[in-house]
Amino acid sequence: MKFCRFCGAKLETPMKFCYKCGKALEPASIPVTQQPEPVVLQSASKNAGVSFRPAAAQHPSAVVFRQTDDDEEVSFHPASVQADEQPQGNVPPQPELVTIQQPVQTYAPPIYTQAAAAERPKKKSKRPFIIIAAVLAVVILGAMAFALRDPMAPINTAAKSVLYLECYDHTGYAFRSGSGFILNDRKIVITNYHVVDGTYQMVALDPYSGRSVEINNVLAYDEEADLAVLLCEEEIGLPPLELANSDYVRQGDKIYTVGYPLGLSHTLSDGLVSSLYLDNGIEIIQISAPISHGSSGGVLLNEKGKVIGVTSGGWDGGQNLNYAVSSNQLKQLLRDTYDVTPMSALYYK
C-alpha cells in the first residue's frame, strides 16, 4: 500500500498520478513497510481518537494521521506543500514558521554629566592616611635621633673656640694668664678687663692646633662690667661662638664653664645657676660651677653650647660662690662705637 507524498491520500493500486490531487507520484512513493509504528492520541470521546506517526525515513518531515473510528489514515509532508496550495480532507494545516531574531546587544559608553558625577559615590582618598603616616614617621625618626644624640656635642664644639691668653710686660716677661673666646669675625676675642689691665702685649694660643697670634689692640672695654673686646692681628682659624639672650636664663638652669684655671688646657666644669641679680647696674649670673685663677675671661655656656656669660671670679671664704657677667651686658659693649686703643696704653695707664 502506498500514499500520495503530496496530499497523503491512500493509493489502492500502483498509480502514476494521485486520484485526489492529480500530482505525479513518481519517482517513488513511501511504502508502508518503512513507516514507523504510529502513536495514537485518544481524544476525550470514547470511540474517537487521532494517531500520528513520522513519515518514512526518506521523508523525515512527513506525518501520518489515522482516524480511529473508521481506521482511515492520512499522511502529508509539510515541506512539499506549495505556498499556494492548501491541504484537503483531514490533513491539518501546515504550521507557520516563525523566525525569532535575537536582539543585537551593543555597548554604548555612558555619558557622564555633572549631575551624574555628583550622584556617583566618591572613592575615599588615601592622601590623609599617607600624610598621617609621613608625620608619624618624621616624629618617630626625630625622637630616635633625639634619644641617640650626644648631649655634650655642642659643649665640646664650643670649648674648642676658647683660647689661652698670656700677658707680657714691656720687657717680654709673662706675668699673668687668663682665658678668652672667639666672637664675630674670628679676629675678635672676649675676656675680662682685669686680664688686660697693665698688659703691654698679649698672645692668644690654641692648644689643639698649637697656633698662636699676637694681640696688640683693644677695641672696647668696660672697667665696671669687667669686660674687654680685643682685636687679634690675624685669624687664628677657630669658629666664633654665638651669644644667647641671657634674659631667658633661669635659676636652676644647667650651665658649663670652659677656661684655663692655673693654665690647665680646656678645663670644663658644670653646675647650676645659683642666682641672678644686678650689681651696680651690671647683670650678674651667680653659678655653682667651680672656677680658679686663670679661668677669668672664660666662657659660660648653656646646654645648647651658646654663650650666656663671661666668667669673672668668685668670693673667697665660700664654696662655689662664683659669678659671670651676662651675655646681654656684653652685647651692650659690642653696640658701642669701636675706638681702637693700643694695649700698651693700658700698660702705662
Q: pLDDT digit of tens for each residue in the chain (349 aa)? A: 677 777 877 777 666 777 778 777 765 444 544 445 554 444 444 444 444 444 444 444 444 444 444 444 444 444 444 444 454 555 566 666 656 666 666 656 666 566 655 666 666 666 777 888 888 888 888 888 777 778 889 999 999 999 999 999 999 999 999 999 999 878 899 999 999 999 999 999 998 889 999 999 999 999 999 999 999 999 988 999 999 999 999 999 999 999 999 989 889 999 999 999 999 999 999 999 998 888 999 999 999 999 999 999 988 777 888 999 999 999 999 987 678 899 988 887 7
Taken in order of first residue, the domains within the chain and their CATH numbers are 2-80 (no CATH), 156-240+337-347 (2.40.10.10), 246-327 (2.40.10.10)
Integer Cα distance of 307 and 340 in angstroms: 25
pLDDT (0 to 100) of residue 63: 46
Integer Cα distance of 190 and 309 in angstroms: 11
What predicted TM-score, i.e. pTM, was given to this entire model?
A: 0.60
* Location of C-alpha cell 638652669: 253
Integer Cα distance of 108 and 87 in angstroms: 50
pLDDT (0 to 100) of residue 165: 96
294 touches 177 (CB < 8 A): yes
11 touches 2 (CB < 8 A): yes
Q: Indicate the length of the chain as a whole number.
A: 349
The three cell numbers of residue 284 are 650678674
- For residue 33, the tally of other CB atoms under 10 A from its CB is 7
Listed in sequence order, the residues at least 6 apart from 276 whose beta carbon sits closer than 8 Å to its beta carbon are 249, 250, 251, 283, 284, 285, 286
91 touches 65 (CB < 8 A): yes
pLDDT (0 to 100) of residue 26: 66
pLDDT (0 to 100) of residue 6: 77
pLDDT (0 to 100) of residue 213: 95
**How does DSSP classify residue 346?**
H
308 touches 286 (CB < 8 A): no
Element of type H or E holding 345: helix 343-347
175 touches 168 (CB < 8 A): yes
**SS3 assignment, position 248:** helix
145 touches 155 (CB < 8 A): no
Integer Cα distance of 232 and 135 in angstroms: 49
